[in-house]
A and B are shown apart, each in its own frame.
Chain A
Amino acid sequence: MKRVGKPVFFIVAIFIIVFTAVAFFGISTQFGDVETVYIKGAGDIRWGIDIRGGVDVTFKPADDAVDVTDAQMSAAEAIIKTRLVSQNINDYEVYTDYSGQRIIVRFPWKSDETNFDPAAAVEELGETASLTFRDGQGVDDEGMPTGEVILNGSDVLTASVVFIPNELTQITEPAVSLELTDSGIEKFAEATGRLAESNGVISIWMDDTMISAPQVNEQISDGMAIISGNFTTESATELADKINAGALPFELVTDTFRTISPKLGMGARDAMFLSCVIAYILIVIFMIIFYRLPGVVAGIALLGQIGGTIAAISGFFPFFSSFTLTVPGIAGIILAVGVGVDANIITASRIREELYNGKSLDGAIDAGFKRGFTAVFDGNITMVLIALILMGAFGTPDSFLAVLLKPLFFAFGATTEGTIYSFGYTLVVGVIFNFLMGITASRLMLKSLSKFKCFRNPALYGGAKSC
């Protein structure tokens, strides 16, 4: 570290500029319509639902569900995931908090759908979707089915949409065909055999709604059951999807939910981006006016810090998975940049002070970084501590920090306030890059620059005009 050669400045500066450019724009090739992304850029950042619109909902078991076990909760989680996929929502986050018995689901607005109804989507997620085949079509006073259950959803292997001709009109209509499990085949054969003798009726129910009630004319022993009724292709597909996804062990109702239309959020993102650019330019101008050469170096280091943070969010580094950026997350970046400016200011003003105290240029630069470091270090570590507490308190229930802080927050359940978590994350990442850029890279660049004859004048470092 003692000897830093002249070329070091250019190496570090070019490295930072190239790195930042790559972090922002990414590297991808366009071949016809196929775009291959080698390195993800800022354009690939996953924006939080407060920016691009979407749904954030917390489910809990309905009040009449008692003795909910952990196994049932994870079964419910798995079913919700299947249902999300069958609704064509692949970019979802699902977390289960076992102690609080909550399931948190977050998914963005589907980009290709203009009339996407999030309320309907959420309602569908929470439905029990329990399929039953019942003996007869009897109902009680409240319209609940009373017939003995012949088959339920777990007897079904797969459901698919088929097109069969209507018996009366001979027009081809959509219907749902069920392939039963072995035990299902047995039960179905037994029941149809029994009911065929009396020309009985089997009613088919989805939760508390009767879909159809066909008459049994003959025993069905091949395990092929077909649900026909007034289906459109769409409603038949929907029913088949529901049956395939399986039934929830209990009904889920919402505890909190938030939906935001994408029309609201993107303005916030653009505004934040624009203000970041303006703020950066203002800060660099300020730094150059007050601290001259160290100000220029600080500007480059800051650029590297921002680039590094962007890279850590977009999934640039293989060891950082990409991260959802929210409005408070952007605030975390701004705060980290503020801390980064501060590190440069502490050092630069210390260098100036040492110059006035009569130190040589090299001595002043060394002393400035050395003495400034303790203040920067302690300030940054306290930031990291606060950020880690935030991430533990408001992060996903199974993350390392959340487990660590569990004794403290166990009483409050998992809130996974994603927006605050995002703040903690960007702050930690920003501070780490501040150590790399604001301290290490700045020192390398400044020491290297001071080897050039034209940069030997202490006035360039804020010192007295004459040597």
Chain B
Amino acid sequence: MLKIPKIKFVENKKIYFSIVIVLLAITLISCFVFGVNLDIKFKGGTIVTYSYTGDIDTNAVKSTVEDAIGFSVSVQQSEDFATKNQNLVISLTDSQHLQMDVQQDMTASLVAAFPDNAIEKLSDTSVDPSMGSKFFAKSMVALVFSFIVLVVYIGFRFKRIQGWTAGISAICALLFDICMVFASFVICRMPLDDNFVAVVLTILGYSINNTIVIYDRLRENQRLHGKNMTYAELMNLSINQTLSRCIHTSVTTVTAMVTVCVVAIIFGVTSIISFAFPMIIGMISGVFTSTCIAGPLWVTWQEHRSNKKANA
């Protein structure tokens, strides 16, 4: 016989729920410790990056720029990991959007003040604060709407296993996954940007897929053994039967993401690191929640409902 593990997922729910609470607490604490950084895409502002050669006095840069544009700025030096080029990152202290002519003044004054440093503009991002908050709100509405669509779809497709409770249990699991992605951004001190939205949406799809595979097996087992088994037994059987698939899929996808992450570190492409690393965290969280949270939660809910029915 094929060995099917006999882990009592439903009976161990207290352990899993405690893990969830501890991790949520850590997330909350780190929010207070590190603070939540919004990228200028969301809160508005201006960041300009220049490349330069030789040595440069950042204080002189700061005063040159402030004289040219009339806003206070902060200047940071960074080194491009791959090209070993020196970069200057100039960001406005206030969340202000700079018009093009002001920007050009800024570049011109820097080039004039530091002629020996071969200053060249690499990138610049400038967002009006009202535009940024609209983008943020829109992302949130897209997220909430995705949740509703998922609940409706699961409710419809999984009628046999009381789709609505199944759908909402799955969403609870998803919310926790999103918290973990959020935490990885906060703890790594990365500002929440459009990568965050992309990762959250990917994890949404990835984690719901895991949960659906289990629900699908549950739907089948309900048909085969529904009369002889309790909700808890059915769920344990379904999770254990799909466990090897779940682990194998996770290993392959996490391997793919780790590869992306490692290559990005070697090449020094920070925009991809801030994408790939939270993705790995979200994927691991997704495996945990769909096996240990969504299933037991559904069972708890079903038992609660049948108890109520029995008492009535």
A: residues with CB less than 8 A from B are 50, 58, 117, 119-120, 122-123, 126, 253-261, 263-264, 267-268, 270-272, 274-275, 278-279, 282-283, 286-287, 290, 327-328, 331-332, 334-335, 337-339, 341-342, 345-346, 349, 352-353, 356-357, 371, 374-375, 378-379, 381-383, 385-387, 389-390, 393-394, 405, 408-409, 412-413, 415, 417, 419-420, 423, 427
Contacts and interface: CB of A to CB of B under 8 A. Distances in A.
B123 A386 contact: no
B198 A261 contact: no
A257 B100 CA distance: 9
A427 B142 contact: no
- Nearest 3 A-B pairs (CB), nearest first? A356-B2, A375-B216, A279-B256
B172 interface: no
A346 B255 contact: no
Given A256-B127, A405-B145, 20 more contacts: A258-B126, A259-B125, A261-B122, A263-B83, A267-B82, A275-B259, A275-B260, A275-B264, A279-B255, A283-B255, A283-B256, A327-B271, A334-B256, A339-B205, A345-B245, A356-B1, A357-B2, A382-B209, A385-B149, A415-B138
B209 A271 contact: no
B146 A389 contact: yes
Contact of A119 (B100, B216, B266, B268): B100
A420 B139 CA distance: 10
Given A58-B131, A349-B248, A268 B97 contact: no
A282 B258 CA distance: 11
A339 B209 CA distance: 8
Given A259-B121, A259-B123, A345 B205 contact: no
A383 B100 contact: no
B150 interface: yes
Contacts of A341: 249, 252-253
Interface stretch (B23-31, B65-73, B101-109, B229-237): B101-109
Contacts of A50: 271
Helix, strand, loop or mixed for chain B's interface? Answer: helix
A271 B264 contact: yes
Nearest to B50: A261
B259 A383 contact: no
A386 B104 contact: no
Given A267-B269, A379-B213, A412-B138, A282 B100 contact: no
B244 interface: yes
B301 interface: no
Nearest to A121: B100
A378 B216 contact: yes
A267 B267 contact: yes
Contact of A287 (B51, B252, B257, B275): B252
Contacts of A408: 141, 145
Nearest to B203: A335
B199 to A, nearest CB: 8
A335 B131 contact: no
A122 B100 CA distance: 7
18 contacts: A119-B100, A126-B100, A255-B97, A257-B124, A263-B83, A275-B260, A279-B255, A279-B259, A282-B256, A331-B202, A338-B206, A339-B205, A339-B209, A374-B220, A378-B212, A386-B149, A389-B142, A394-B142
A412 to B, nearest CB: 4
Nearest to B255: A282
Contacts of A371: 220
A149 to B, nearest CB: 26
A338 B194 contact: no
B112 interface: no
Name, among B1, B125, B205, B245, the residue most crowded by chain A CB atoms within 10 Å (CB to CB). B205
A427 B205 contact: yes
B197 A420 contact: yes
Name, among B125, B241, B249, B252, the residue most crowded by chain A CB atoms within 10 Å (CB to CB). B252
A30 to B, nearest CB: 31
Interface of B: 1-2, 51, 82-83, 97, 99-101, 103-104, 107, 120-128, 131-132, 134-135, 137-139, 141-142, 145-146, 149-150, 153-154, 157, 194-195, 197-198, 201-202, 204-206, 208-209, 212-213, 215-217, 219-220, 241, 244-245, 248-249, 251-253, 255-257, 259-260, 262-264, 266-269, 271-272, 275, 279
A389 B152 CA distance: 14
A405 B205 CA distance: 20
Given A327-B271, A356-B1, A417-B135, A338 B256 contact: yes
Contacts of A349: 244-245, 248
B62 to A, nearest CB: 21
Contacts of B137: 412
Name, among B124, B132, B150, B220, the residue most crowded by chain A CB atoms within 10 Å (CB to CB). B124
Contacts of B198: 328, 331, 419-420, 423
A337 B256 contact: yes
Given A268-B269, A382-B209, A423 B216 contact: no
A117 B141 CA distance: 37
Given A253-B99, A375-B213, A417-B135, A385 B121 contact: no
Contacts of A328: 194-195, 198, 275
B161 to A, nearest CB: 12
Contacts of A385: 146, 149-150, 153
Name, among A258, A332, A356, A386, the residue most crowded by chain B CB atoms within 10 Å (CB to CB). A386
B269 A342 contact: no
A111 to B, nearest CB: 17
Given A383-B205, A415-B138, A417-B194, A255 B100 contact: no
B253 A119 contact: no
Contacts of B150: 382, 385-386
Contacts of B264: 271, 275
A282 B134 contact: no
Contacts of A58: 131
Contacts of A270: 267
Contacts of B249: 338, 341-342, 345-346
Given A119-B107, A328-B198, A342-B209, A278 B204 contact: no
A120 B101 CA distance: 8
B50 to A, nearest CB: 10
